[in-house]
Amino acid sequence: MTADPGSPLRTAAGTPYDPRAARNVLVVLAVMALMVMYVETMVIPAFKSFVLFFDNAPPTTVVWIVSAYLLVGTVATPIFGKLGDKYGKKRMLVLVMSLYAVAVSLAGFSPNIGAAFGVDRANQIYVLIGIRAFQGLGMGMFPLAFAMLPEVFPAARVGQAQGIVSGTFAAGASLGLVGGGYISYVWGWQLTYHTVVPVAVALAVLAYVILRESPHLTAEPIDYPGISSLGFALATLMFGLTEGTYWGWTNFAAVHFAGVAWGVPEFFLLALAGTVFFLLWEPRSPNPVVSFAALRQRNIWISNVNGLFVGIGMFLIFIGLVILVEYPYAPGFGLNEFQMGLVSVPASISMLALAPLWGRMVASQGPKPVMITGFGIMAIGGVGLVLCNSNIWELILFSIPSLAGNVAVLIAMSNIIVLSVSPKELGIQTGMN
């Protein structure tokens, strides 16, 4: 049975297609991606600045400027996705954008805030880490944003829209690594935060004014035991992964807190306990936070597993490049923040140029060949970085396929998710991915 040629075009979620509403969503999401990636990547080349500014802070502490954001964000992502399904994606997106705007406004003033409370320079870094943890709530923007695309675009155009948004991710990363790195090197890391405050505030207002609320809401109550156990499991797992290198993966007594010895294995055991509770509770919950029936679908679980590998891969690539480029002793090259940004430019440009192409390929050929191609290109770049890193040009060369392939997989797997689940579950399923 063929569709009536005269019937109105409909979105992937089944609602009438409104080009103006689709354009508004795309503009807001593209600027959001640009802003967030600028903020988060400008932190990476500034590691050396943080060490010097906070009285030679140890690297194990400085890394928490990134880890605290990721730790909270990992927990917040599925939670805000679920809240968006229930209370409205626009409502939750505006809330998360507002929280993010507050956080970036405070981050640049964290030394002043610490000094006002009598905190010395060496310990002011913990004020920044705390603000960065609060800023991690902003990661809830991503599932809400990507879940909105199939509600405003026809199925055949969702991949192209995802490609455009992913392209602005790459543009933001390039701007953050180069522009943010230069600002940090010349004027200090605080100014990098100050530059983004007007954009963050304006974007939250713009989203409130021009976006429409999602027509697909679920009336199911929130599964608080499920959300709590999922958040606990993710938080303790991320904490263990973050501290494993510094505390030792098998050290049960790396630190002492309140007279009790703690180590990475304990956090992994806590994560396991939270996971077991979640897996036992969810099938029995009258309103599960995650539909296990959906997770058992081949497309869904494959995309979720791929998302795990891609996320870890991107994190390791960026952190590995910073260490190799800025570390003053062999095997590092001892370059500054701005030079670190320049090293990353070719890879960021490749992501920006190829993201729309990957999106069009998803629309014309489907996500599977794009995902396979992306993993193949990532593998070439990853192996190259492991085997060939004795000079700076090798890092530049092999980082290109590493990140270009990464963005291909991201677009393909998010396309699979948004076109495989009910519109009422887009937020949580995208958040889990």
Quote the CA–CA distance of 143 and 238 in Å, as a whole number.
19
* pLDDT, tens digit (0-9, with 9 covering 90-100), for 24-46: 888 888 899 889 888 888 877 77
- For the chain, the helix, strand and coil percentages under 3-state DSSP, each to the nearest 5: 80, 0, 20
* pLDDT, tens digit (0-9, with 9 covering 90-100), for 53-104: 898 888 778 888 888 888 888 778 888 888 888 888 889 999 999 999 999 9
Q: Tell me the mean pLDDT in the region 216-233.
A: 80
pLDDT at 4: 52
What domains are defined for the chain? 19-222+289-432 (1.20.1250.20), 223-288 (no CATH)
pLDDT above 60 for 423:
no
* pLDDT, tens digit (0-9, with 9 covering 90-100), for 379-414: 898 888 888 888 888 888 998 998 888 888 888 887
Quote the CA–CA distance of 343 and 322 in Å, as a whole number.
10
Q: Where are the beta strands (DSSP E) in 51-149?
A: none
Quote the CA–CA distance of 12 and 146 in Å, as a whole number.
13
3-state secondary structure of 58: coil
**Amino acid residing at 202:** A
* pLDDT, tens digit (0-9, with 9 covering 90-100), for 177-221: 778 778 887 888 898 899 899 999 999 999 999 888 877 777 777
pLDDT above 90 for 140:
no
- Nearest CA to 393 out of 346, 432, 425, 428 is that of 346
Phi and psi at 332, nearest 5°, equal -75, 165
Q: Tell me the mean pLDDT in the region 271-287.
A: 87
pLDDT band per the 50, 70, 90 thresholds, residue 1: very low
